[in-house]
Amino acid sequence: MTLRGRLTAAFLAVVLGPVLLGAFFVASTVAAVSHNRSIERLDLAATSVRTSVSALCQQLHAAADAVAVLANPSQVAGAANQVVARGLASAVVVIRPDGRQLFATPSQPPRPWAECGGAGGDAGPAAIAARVEMRDAGGTPLGTVVVARHLDSAFVARLAAATGVAVTLLPGADTPADATLSTESPATRRAVVAAGERLSGDGTAETDVGRYVRRVGPSPGQPLPLVLSVPRTVPEGLYAVLVATVLLAGFCAVLAAWWLARSTTRPLAELAHAADRVADGDLAARVPVRTADEVGRLASTFNRMTRETQAYVQALTASRDQLRGHLAILGDTLSSTHDLQRILQVILQTALAATGARAGAVLLLDPATGLLDGQYAEDGPGNTRLAALPDAAGGADAVAPPVLPAGIGDHQPSTLTLPLGTGLLGSVVATGEPVRGRVDRDGPELSPDEPACRTYVAVPFSVAAPAVDPPRSAPGRPPAEPPTPAPPTSIGVLAVYDRLGFDEFDGADLATLRTFAAQAAVAVDNVRVHREAERLSMTDGLTGLWNYRRLQEQLHREIERSNRFGRTLTVLALDLDRFKEVNDTHGHPAGDTVLREFARRISAEIREVDVAFRNGGEEFVVLLPETDAHGGAVVAERLGAAIRDTPITIQANGGTDTVELPVTVSIGVAVYPEHGATGEQVLDAADDALYAAKAGGRDTYRVATVRPRPDGDEVPVASGPGSPEGDLPQAGGASFGPQPPRQSRGR
């Protein structure tokens, strides 16, 4: 139902309700008053009837007394005739004491007679009579004088005239209704008689012909069964006036309601139409202001709001175009840094700021595992926090996450890991197609590990794959076709969720993210290539350990850290015993197997903060930060046992037969700053101790001895516990046999 219909119905209910209620009240009041008046008339008429009948009975008693005074029978007859002749009675009858009739005037009324002194009966009497005893002078009863008065239409008419109501004498059982003595019209007589016969005593009823009736008698002193009736009085034309008044009021109310609803809803309809146009993108829509009331103020406010919104959208459009123009500059900036974590932070923060999204995620594909690794950040632009991605180079040189100012964001984002092709993000990387929409309408179904969202935009990070070179043409043939470009390869995905304000993302947001993702993908790929090149330049290709170049850098950093915090640094120099015999006897592939297994066991036995390096050939170095000579000796013993206790399985000379080859290692231990003031000096001291271990019979370790410093220089002393040397095998000790002159280390 429309607002106009509701207003009209409400107005009609408010206006017509009281009118109808008032009309009903007036009608019911008039009916009640008419009923009460009719009953009052019947009550007065009943009193008048009793008075008239009583007067008639007194008259008959007086006539009977006049006849009874004359004791002589001849005189009685004359007196009786005189009473009848004068019209005082219709008949006179004298009865002896023995019950025989002494005298009676002619033309007596038919029986029954109603006795004035009796209670009467329900049967309709033909006359009313009074009875008086006749006595002599001595009081002896001489008989009874009965004087009767015939009941006719004239008698009933006199009663009706005296009471002002219609009077009906109920007939006897054998008397037809048409012969009933009544002043009622023939049309209503039968209904009045029937109603009077149903009543008893002085009851009152209403007939179906519109009359109120009341029965009077028979009762002591009033022996006649009479029925009094009055018409039901209703003011003439009252109900017609009431109906006409209600109809007129209803018509006026409908006109007023129509005018009120139209004048109220017309501006609202115009406002709704303008709002629909604004919702469809027409910000130039305006509403005419017709009045100065609340509706007019609402229209003015709507017009002002649309003008401000139009100006704001124009400013946003200009800002978006400006943002797109700066994306290329941002891409150049991204491509100029090799800090992957910083690049990811810039990517996510820029995407959130460009789209006004509540949250976002950036994930990169790990080719080795086929998993998408990344972070999920929320709280909108400026509140982005990223946990560090796994560094491609690994080890202690992993890039730490950027430190943001305190108070930005309330929690760290969750780290995401998704299989390729799973959920929204996995499918975008698998297909390489950007998507946008609503989850409940457009899908796809989100993975349980993905952030919950309502709307989304997700674009892949795609880089161009290397071109495929066609087969070379033979000499003398036309040149081959140029290399065929391969389709772009997705290396990750960028997604934003739930634009603030609960609006869906539009095509402009998708185009913005696609442009930005193209630049960001180049930057991320450049960082990956740079890191891979850096890793390859600092790792040993055979064992996967850090190489000699990385050893020099790491040793320099650890020396600086030890000086800054006053801690010791232990250096282990390791060399496989008689490794040359392995290559000469079983071949170089077997030697490579031994080196790889040896590197694996070293990595398994050291701490996470310790770093292992391949120094070249079969020589290895292990740095033990914050470790003294005793700790270094413990690690040396553990490494020697790990190599010695389990032979290494090799394939002899490239064949299929396997050989269990026992391998041992000699280890030299040196501690900074006890055995050297620089990294090179400590490394040389560890190398000298390694020579001592070789000279001491191999498969053992030696701790370097403290050498005097030139020019009296003192070595800084660490604040931590010292390295007592009395209980450790020293490089220059005699308990392990004589030391040969320094020469090439036998393998």
Q: Single out the residue in 299, 314, 329 at which a domain terminates.
A: 314
Residues 212 and 271 in one domain: no
> Residue 247's domain is classified under what CATH number?
1.10.8.500
Residues 265 and 375 in one domain: no
Structural contact between residues 572 and 605, judged by C-beta atoms closer than 8 angstroms: no
Residues 139 and 164 in one domain: yes
Q: Best-predicted range by mean pLDDT among 44-58, 186-200, 342-356? A: 44-58
Give a yes or no: residue 719 inside a domain: no
Q: So what's the pLDDT on residue 715?
A: 41
Note if the bond before 729 is cis, omega within 30 degrees.
no
Q: So what's the pLDDT on residue 53?
A: 85
Q: So what's the pLDDT on residue 4?
A: 62
Give a yes or no: residue 515 inside a domain: yes
Rounded distance between C-alpha atoms, residue 65 and residue 270, angstroms:
103
Residues 90 and 168 in one domain: yes
Q: Single out the residue in 280, 314, 348 at which a domain terminates.
A: 314
Give a yes or no: residue 563 inside a domain: yes
> Residue 102's domain is classified under what CATH number?
3.30.450
Judged against a pLDDT cut of 60, whether residue 317 lies above it is answered with: yes
The reported pTM is 0.41
Give a yes or no: residue 402 inside a domain: no
> Residue 577's domain is classified under what CATH number?
3.30.70.270
| pLDDT band at residue 687 using 50, 70 and 90 as cut-offs | very high
pLDDT digits over 506-561, tens only? 888 888 788 777 767 777 777 777 777 777 778 888 898 999 988 999 999 999 99
Rounded distance between C-alpha atoms, residue 36 and residue 249, angstroms:
30
Residues 530 and 628 in one domain: no
Residues 584 and 689 in one domain: yes
Residues 218 and 301 in one domain: no
Q: Single out the residue in 231, 258, 292 at which a domain terminates.
A: 231
- The domain in which residue 458 lies consists of 337-397+412-466+486-536
Q: So what's the pLDDT on residue 609?
A: 92
Residues 56 and 192 in one domain: yes
Residues 225 and 248 in one domain: no
Judged against a pLDDT cut of 50, whether residue 689 lies above it is answered with: yes
Q: What percent of the chain has pLDDT over 90?
A: 17
Three-state SS sequence of 93-145: EEECCCCCEEEECCCCCCCCEEECCCCCCCCCCCEEEEEEEEECCCCCEEEEE
Give a yes or no: residue 119 inside a domain: yes
Q: So what's the pLDDT on residue 612?
A: 95
Give a yes or no: residue 739 inside a domain: no
> Residue 354's domain is classified under what CATH number?
3.30.450.40
Residues 554 and 617 in one domain: yes
| pLDDT band at residue 74 using 50, 70 and 90 as cut-offs | low
Here the tokens at position 451 are 């952030």
Give a yes or no: residue 474 inside a domain: no
Residues 247 and 220 in one domain: no
Give a yes or no: residue 73 inside a domain: yes
Structural contact between residues 135 and 149, judged by C-beta atoms closer than 8 angstroms: no
Q: What percent of the chain has pLDDT over 70?
A: 78
pLDDT digits over 256-310, tens only? 877 777 777 777 778 888 888 888 888 888 888 877 877 788 888 888 888 888 8
Residues 707 and 561 in one domain: yes
Q: So what's the pLDDT on residue 418?
A: 78
Give how many domains the chain has, as a whole number.
4
When mean pLDDT is compared across 177-181, 264-268, 494-498, the lowest value belongs to: 177-181
